[in-house]
């Protein structure tokens, strides 16, 4: 399968998206409460499982990692994207590529940490919905509660998260549940989501992927990827590229789940130069979403990903 020569440019917000710990306090231009009709209850909950991963500079491949991040807010309707930023979910509100096409991105999310973007239009109250747990069969994983870093002057409340290695057994249950005891006016809830088939990058060009590292093809050639296990019931996305200052260093491609995809050389040439110190990341993610009860937005999202570093 070859990508049609369709390329859309998506220009993201130009402000910096540095880690929350180093982010300066931003002042909202309008921090007063809007009228009730403008407000909504929204949730941003993401469950992410990554196969054994490797980071440039590390000696060993990491362990299978399960991450969960969640925020629940009483927010102004125009601030759904800001809420999504608090769980590193930058795709909310962006146009999705058509099937087997790509868009260029400046700074996609690599993890579920808070990422400051544009400040909220109005005051955001992040709700304490009681104890929140991830469940699968008899397994229970409590989420920790933390005060949200001061990303914005007009944002206060709590954020839930948890991270655990050696977590492949969670996928075997077939169904995951996000369960909360309720609080801040939110009743108890139990949201179930079916686990799609895990994905694994098997080949990049003519090279099999071993230990998450593989030689990158020349910039003047097509880049083909193959993966095992075809699902067909979930979304499949490719993130390809590297971080560059003030530039569009990434391609986000929405794929047909048929086991193979080719990025034409015309798009490969748009990626920044790669090296041992700054390899390209190729990450395949199979995902599924289900509505959250009580909340008007956003859906609960489950992602299963596998990565290869192209040097």
pLDDT for position 20: 36
Residue 82 to residue 239: CA distance in whole angstroms: 22
pLDDT for position 24: 38
Could you read off the pLDDT of 132-148 as tens digits, one per residue? 999 999 999 999 998 87
Domain boundaries, the chain: 7-310
Looking at residue 2, the DSSP 8-state letter turns out to be B
Cβ atoms within 10 Å, residue 145? 14
Radius of gyration of the chain (CA): 20
pLDDT for position 276: 78
pLDDT for position 111: 58
pLDDT (tens place) for every residue of the chain, 311 residues total: 544 433 333 333 333 333 333 333 333 343 344 446 789 999 999 999 988 655 555 545 557 889 999 999 999 998 888 888 888 775 555 567 788 888 887 766 555 666 656 778 888 899 999 999 999 999 999 999 988 766 666 678 899 999 998 898 999 889 999 999 999 999 999 999 999 999 999 999 999 988 778 888 877 899 999 998 888 888 999 999 888 776 778 899 999 999 999 999 999 998 988 887 788 989 999 999 999 989 999 999 999 999 888 98
Cβ atoms within 10 Å, residue 14? 9
Could you read off the pLDDT of 238-247 as tens digits, one per residue? 999 888 776 7
102-137 burial: b if 16+ Cβ within 10 Å, else e? bbbbbbbbeebbbbbbbbbbbbbbbbbbbebbbbbe
Tokens for 283, please give them: 């990450």
Could you read off the pLDDT of 188-200 as tens digits, one per residue? 999 999 999 999 9
Q: CB neighbours of 170 closer than 8 A, spacing ≥ 6?
A: 49, 66, 134, 136, 139, 141, 176
Q: Cα–chain-centroid distance for residue 171? A: 18
Cβ pair 216, 310 in contact under 8 A: yes
Q: How many residues make up the chain in this entry?
A: 311
201-218 burial: b if 16+ Cβ within 10 Å, else e? bbbbbeeebeebbbebbe
Residue corresponding to tokens 């870093």: 149
pLDDT for position 42: 96
Q: Both ends of the chain: CA-CA distance in Å?
A: 24
Name the 3-class secondary structure at 38.
helix
Beta pairing partners, 141: 134
In this structure, the dihedral spanned by the alpha carbons of residues 261, 197, 167 and 146, taken in order and rounded to 10 degrees, is 80
pLDDT for position 115: 60
pLDDT for position 117: 63
Cβ pair 222, 269 in contact under 8 A: no
pLDDT for position 288: 94
pLDDT for position 109: 59
Residue 231 to residue 306: CA distance in whole angstroms: 15
Cβ pair 143, 129 in contact under 8 A: no
Residue 131 to residue 151: CA distance in whole angstroms: 24
Q: What are phi and psi of 216, to 5 degrees?
A: -85, 145
Coarse DSSP helix, strand, coil percentages of the chain, rounded to the nearest 5 percent: 10, 40, 50
Q: Is the omega angle on the peptide bond into residue 298 within 30 degrees of 0, that is, cis?
A: yes
pLDDT for position 17: 36
């Amino acid at each position: 399968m070859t990508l049609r020569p369709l390329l859309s440019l998506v220009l993201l917000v130009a402000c910096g998206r540095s880690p929350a710990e180093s982010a300066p306090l931003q002042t909202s231009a309008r921090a007063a409460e809007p009228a009730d009709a403008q407000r909504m209850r929204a949730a941003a909950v993401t469950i992410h499982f990554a196969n054994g991963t490797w980071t440039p500079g590390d000696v060993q491949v990491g362990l299978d990692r399960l991450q969960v991040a969640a925020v629940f807010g009483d927010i102004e309707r125009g601030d759904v994207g800001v809420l999504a930023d608090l769980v590193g979910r930058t795709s909310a509100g962006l146009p999705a590529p058509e099937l087997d096409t790509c868009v260029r991105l400046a700074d996609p999310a690599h993890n579920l940490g808070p990422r400051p973007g544009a400040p909220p239009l109005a005051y955001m109250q992040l709700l304490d919905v009681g104890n929140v747990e991830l469940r699968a069969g008899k397994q229970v994983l409590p989420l920790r509660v933390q005060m949200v870093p001061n990303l914005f002057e007009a944002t206060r409340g709590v954020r839930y998260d948890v991270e655990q290695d050696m977590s492949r057994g969670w996928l075997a249950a077939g169904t995951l549940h996000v369960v909360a005891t309720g609080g801040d006016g939110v009743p108890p809830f139990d949201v179930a989501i079916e686990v799609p088939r895990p994905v694994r990058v098997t080949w990049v060009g003519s090279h099999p992927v071993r230990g998450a590292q593989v030689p990158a093809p020349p910039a003047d050639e097509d880049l083909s990827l193959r993966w095992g296990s075809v699902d067909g019931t979930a979304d499949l996305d490719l993130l390809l590229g590297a971080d560059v200052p003030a530039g569009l260093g990434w391609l986000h491609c929405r794929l047909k789940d048929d086991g193979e995809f080719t990025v034409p050389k015309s798009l490969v040439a748009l990626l920044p130069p790669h090296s041992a110190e700054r390899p390209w990341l190729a990450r395949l993610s199979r995902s599924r979403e289900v509505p959250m009860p009580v909340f008007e937005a956003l859906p609960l999202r489950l992602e299963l990903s596998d990565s290869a570093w192209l040097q």
